[in-house]
Amino acid sequence: MKKNSLLIFFFQLCCLSFFAQKNDFLIGKISETNSDLPLQGVNILNQTSNLGNSSESDGSFKIQIKEYPTTLIFSYVGYENVLLKITNVPTKSISIQMKRSTFGLPEIEITDQPRIKKLTKETYTVKDFILDGENVLLLTYGSFRSNNKLKLQNWEGKIISELEIEKIKVNKLHRSCLGNIHLVGKKMGYEISLVGNTIQIISKYPSHQFKELIAPCVETSTEFLYRKEYKLKDQLLTYNIISKKEKSILSKIHVIDRENLSRSKDDFQLRLGFGASFPRPLSWEQRRAWQSLVYKPLFSPLLNLGEELCLFNHTLGYLEFYTFQGKNKRIVPITYHENKKWQKLILEDVENNKVYTVYDKRKGKMIYEINLVDGTVFPVLFFESSLIEKMLIHRGHLFYLESGATNDEKNRVLHRVELGQ
């Protein structure tokens, strides 16, 4: 009797093991919403385990699930992402339908213009600007009668204070990762103070210090600094995570374009052939021009979203989320960067914890908000424009510097417009 009981126990154990293994996998089919045609090559990603698979020619798929709850992301070029939350062990096959993305559709004609506030006057033209709370700091062009000026004004365009910059050649304004404001020139850099709405230059330093120490720092958290570094013809981008306390590198986050780097040997031979057609070898300027033409620096911004880091890995097509120490948490597929009208811009509204990107339209620009949960984008603002020099978003408002807005082509005008109009 004991022997029979033992056999029954082992038989039940084997059955449980068999069904557990079977239920570790979710199976189903993927088709297009309108036509019901099967979709082949759809990427399926398990956010919890970062394991993935792709659909077969008949649209069928199979993916392993080890932990519950979890979320599966279905992504396919030209289609909107689909998120599927799994809370229990899957017991049957499922059907997934995917909608075509609006990016492939004809452009919609937009006739209503949003209410745009012009913040600058014709008496001066803007070279650069940064935002400071409810104020805007402007760097204006000098004329043959006056020098460059720094102007502090509110969101309505009223000048609060200004400072004339004598005998200083500067190009741009920059806010460092620690929040300090810098005025940057070819030879010298200057730190600016806005205490009490009064503009003051509090220190100056050689411009190489800006390039080596200030510019590479892109983000900060309570305990860490995040500094970017380019190598291998700008095809390897590294974010060094530096401990503020120990002042040492704790970990690194890498982005690499392996496909472009694999062509480097062929490129070397091509450059030799290119140089052979000239009486002299390629100069340093020619080599640099060649490299800038073939090897564009990777565009993968790293942002502090308040509770975690987000790397916009446009090389691999993912939003990669990390802890502040650099430990990977999850990834989300993206396709918005594959549109030819994409402007390679990521704009963050820090206070509202939202992220936006920009597309060219026939008569202007379209601002899209990026859904950080599923990687999709949706439009929030269209405005007519000529040539945009710079964009920043703060507290739900877009600030943009536009040239060519008047008959004077050198005139640069600053505008403000509320998102969501």
396: left (phi over 0), alpha (psi -120 to 50) or beta: left
Query: Are 35 and 58 contacting, i.e. CB atoms less than 8 angstroms apart?
Result: no
Query: 401: how many CB neighbours lie within 10 A of its CB?
Result: 22
H, E, C per residue of 191-259: EEECHHHCCEEEEEEEHHHHHHHHCCEEEECCCEEEEEEEECCCCEEEEEEEECCCCCEEEEEEEECHH
pLDDT computed for residue 91 by the predictor: 80
pLDDT 10s digits, 328-366: 999 999 999 988 999 999 999 999 999 999 999 888 999
Final residue of a structural domain among 297, 320, 352: 297
Final residue of a structural domain among 42, 74, 100: 100
* Residue 21 placed within a domain: yes
pLDDT computed for residue 243 by the predictor: 97
pLDDT computed for residue 284 by the predictor: 64
Q: Which of 143, 144, 145, 149 is nearest to 128 (CA)?
A: 149
Q: Give the distance, in angstroms, between the CA of residue 318 and the centroid of all CA atoms in the same chain.
A: 10
> What's the rounded Cα separation, in Å, for the pair 323 and 11?
45
Residue 302, judged by CB atoms within 10 A of its CB (0-12, 13-18, 19+), counts as buried
**171 phi and psi, to 5 degrees?**
-115, -35
Rounded average pLDDT over 78-92: 84
DSSP conformation letters of 89-100: ---S-EEEEEPB
* Residue 76 placed within a domain: yes
* Residue 310 placed within a domain: no
Using DSSP's 3-state secondary structure scheme, residue 382 falls into: strand
Cβ neighbours for 274, distance < 8 A, ≥ 6 positions apart: 282, 290
Mean pLDDT over each residue of the chain, to the nearest integer? 85
pLDDT computed for residue 67 by the predictor: 84
Residue 311, judged by CB atoms within 10 A of its CB (0-12, 13-18, 19+), counts as buried
Half-sphere exposure of 327 (CA within 13 A, CB side): 3
* Residue 403 placed within a domain: no
| H-helix or E-strand spanning residue 331 | strand 328-333
pLDDT 10s digits, 218-248: 999 999 999 999 998 899 999 999 999 999 9
The model's pTM: 0.79
Number of separate domains in the chain: 2
Final residue of a structural domain among 76, 100, 124: 100
Q: Give the distance, in angstroms, between the CA of residue 304 and the centroid of all CA atoms in the same chain.
A: 11
pLDDT computed for residue 409 by the predictor: 44
CATH of the domain at 36: 2.60.40.1120
Rounded average pLDDT over 82-92: 84
* Residue 91 placed within a domain: yes
Q: Which of 342, 368, 360, 356 is nearest to 392 (CA)?
A: 356
Query: 343: how many CB neighbours lie within 10 A of its CB?
Result: 14
Task: Indicate whether 393 pLDDT > 60.
Answer: yes
pLDDT computed for residue 281 by the predictor: 62
* Residue 56 placed within a domain: yes
Domain hosting residue 51, numbered range: 2-100
* Residue 82 placed within a domain: yes
Gyration radius of the chain over CA positions? 27
Task: Indicate whether 117 pLDDT > 80.
Answer: yes
Give residue 27's pLDDT band: very low, low, confident or very high (50, 70, 90): very high
Rounded average pLDDT over 309-338: 94
Q: Give the distance, in angstroms, between the CA of residue 135 and the centroid of all CA atoms in the same chain.
A: 25
Query: Are 86 and 108 contacting, i.e. CB atoms less than 8 angstroms apart?
Result: no
> What's the rounded Cα separation, in Å, for the pair 255 and 258?
9
pLDDT 10s digits, 151-202: 999 999 999 999 998 777 888 999 999 999 999 998 999 999 999 999 999 9
Contacts 24+ apart (CB under 8 A), 285-290: none
Q: Which of 48-52, 303-307, 402-406 has the lowest mean pLDDT?
A: 402-406
How far from 150 is each of 129, 160, 396, CA to CA, in Å?
Answer: 9, 11, 25
Query: Are 382 and 363 contacting, i.e. CB atoms less than 8 angstroms apart?
Result: no
* Residue 74 placed within a domain: yes
pLDDT computed for residue 107 by the predictor: 52
> What's the rounded Cα separation, in Å, for the pair 77 and 95?
19
Q: Which of 205-214, 228-237, 399-408 has the lowest mean pLDDT?
A: 399-408
How far from 411 is each of 149, 249, 408, CA to CA, in Å?
Answer: 15, 45, 5
More confident residue, 411 or 27: 27
Cβ neighbours for 38, distance < 8 A, ≥ 6 positions apart: 29, 30, 31, 55, 57, 58, 59, 60
Q: Which two tokens stand for residue 406?
A: 């008047």
Q: Which residue has the tokens 């036509």?
A: 35
